[in-house]
Structure formats: C-alpha cells, structure tokens
Structure 1
Amino acid sequence: MNNHIEEVKDVGSFLKEHGIKPSYQRMQIYKFLLENRIHPTVDTIYKALCDEIPTLSKTTIYNTLNTFVEKGIVSVIVIEENETRYEANMTLHGHFKCNDCGNIYDIFLDTSSLDLSQLDKFDIKEKHIYFKGTCEHCLKKAKSHN
C-alpha cells in the first residue's frame, strides 16, 4: 500500500485502519516519523521521545517499528550494513546518503521511463534506489574552507 504521509491526519485512526492497536507509544513513534523526515535510527527516535515518554525503551521502539514494517506503513532503509533507518513515506522514491555528514535525503525519480520488462517473471517484494556521495551543503562547506 502506498500511503502519502501528507494524508495522515489522525494517527490513531490510521494505525487502527492498518490493524495496529494505537497505544500512546505507538502513536508517538509514528507521529515522530511523519513529522521528522530524517530517516531516523532507533537511537534517534529513542533520544527524541524518552523525555516525553519516560517508560519508553529501545525494545519497544524496535518492536513497534517491526510491527509498522509488517503492516506496510513504514519502510526500512539499509544503505550501510551497520545502520538501519526507518521512514513513513511509502511512495516509490530513492535516497541519497552523504558520506560526509551522514544525512539521508529523499530523491524523487520518474521511474515511468525505466524498462523493467526483464523483471516480469519475478515477484518483487521491495524496491530500493540509493546514491552515495557528498551533499550540496557539505560541498559548499568544503569550498568555503579552501
């Protein structure tokens, strides 16, 4: 299912529609993903929410994110082997990871012109497109130091 994150107005109802009991912790985790399109790690989510939710644990975040992934409302981004990130934008798009600052940016691509006919006999479960390099901000920073 492709959900456009702009369309999610009521997080509790959205979770219910996808068969997820909308506990306070689950709603806050999903809301964080909607409002912070930074492709966060579990640690990032934990640090952002632990003051607001003192009972929150990293285990709860892992379990919640796994549920969200199973229900198709969150995707996993693994560009580096040792780093798992998450996002709520389920539309087909690519990612660019800056090797200098580590930020991940959404890249919206027109995939309609790609010839994917050689994949017709395959059952595709996931699609990932990513690029690595130096982002615009880091390039500017490097030029200003030269």
Structure 2
Amino acid sequence: MNVYEYLLSYDIKPSVQRIAIMDYLLTHHTHPCIDEIYMALHDDIPTLSKTTVYNTLKLFVEHGAAKMLTIDERNACFDGDTSAHAHFQCKCCGKIYDLPMHVNEKEMSDMADKGFSVEEVHNYYKGVCPECKNNKSDKN
C-alpha cells in the first residue's frame, strides 16, 4: 500500500505535506520529533512550516495513523508503526529503540470484565543501549 492509500485507509485526506510527513514516519524508524521532521522536509517543501508539521502529526495521532511517544520529557516523538510494541530510550545517546511487547490477554480480559475499555498501552524502558555500554567499557 502506498502512502496515499495508507492515509485514505485512516480517513485522512492526502495532501503533499501529509504524504511527505507520513512517508517520513514510515521510512525513518527513528521516532522523530517535530523539529527533526521539519528539518528533513523543509528543503523539498519550502512552504512547510513547523505549525503544519505539528497539526499534521496531531491529525495522524487522532486518526490512529501514528503514535505520539512521551518517553522523553523534553520532546514528543512520533512513530509511524502503530502495531503493539514497547520502546527503550538510551539515557546516554537518547536513541529510541522498538522492542517486542507481549500483551497480557488475561489482564486485558479482566479489565474488560470490569467495564474498562483499553484504547492505548504504553511500555517505556530507559537505560543504556548496547552501543553506549560498549563505548563506555572501551574507554575504561
């Protein structure tokens, strides 16, 4: 499915800016923030503004086409992968990694039995990534 069809599947009217922003999210698995997306696209789309990027990402999140990550207290990051997965942020380099997430079906069923309707699950881990850990041990 191309990006145009992907946006339509989430009831989002495609535009040049929306297609470019979603394409960036789907092809760059770096969990970018608004500034990163803006800096990556503004040379190709001179009319693009940070406000447009912000409003577009907000629209994507509202329609379920992207997820907003608040793992970093300073910046909201965005993920084009809407499948259930966890995230790990390295405290040294700041990089965010995708991790598998195992949903506890019994827990979800118990919550549903009690009347809860779960719409989002966030699993965030913080620590030191293997690359930074290796760099630290190389220096010692």
Length-normalised TM-score, structure 1: 0.88
Shift of 1:125: 2.1
Q: What CA deviation, in whole Å up to 9, does each residue of 1:32-81 have, x standing for no partner? A: 00000000000000111111111110000011011111111101100133
Question: Which one of the candidate residues 22, 29, 32 is aligned to 2:21?
Answer: 29
* Whole-angstrom distance in 2 between the partners of 1:112 and 1:79: 21
| Distance in 1 separating the partners of 2:138 and 2:105 | 38
Match 2:69 to one of 61, 66, 77 = 77
Task: Within 5 Å, give how 1:107-118 maps onto structure 2.
Answer: 107-112=99-104, 115-118=107-110
The one of 123, 139, 145 aligned to 2:117: 123
One-letter identity of the residue aligned with 2:46: P
What is the CA distance between 1:111 and its match in structure 2? 2.6
Which residue type is aligned with residue 141 of structure 1? N
- Which fold has the larger relative contact order, with Cα–Cα distance below 8 Å and residues 6 or more apart in sequence? 1
Q: Report the CA distance between 1:117 and its aligned residue.
A: 4.6
Aligned AA for 2:99? I
Structure 1 spans left out of the alignment, 5+ residues: 1-8
The whole-number CA distance in structure 2 between the counterparts of 1:65 and 1:29 is: 8
For the residues of structure 2 that align with 1:128 and 1:18, how far apart are their CA atoms?
A: 21
SS of equivalent to 1:89: coil
> 2:130 is matched with which residue?
136
Name the counterpart of 1:90: 82
Across the aligned residues of Structure 1 and Structure 2, the Cα RMSD in angstroms comes to: 1.5
Query: Residue 57 of structure 1 aligns with which residue?
Result: 49
Separation of aligned partners in 2, 1:106 and 1:89: 9
Q: What SS does the corresponding residue of 1:105 show, helix, strand or coil? A: strand
Structure 2 match to 1:3: none
* Number of corresponding residues: 138
**Other-structure match for 1:67:** 59
Q: Counterparts of 2:2 and 2:121 in 1: how far apart (Å)?
A: 28
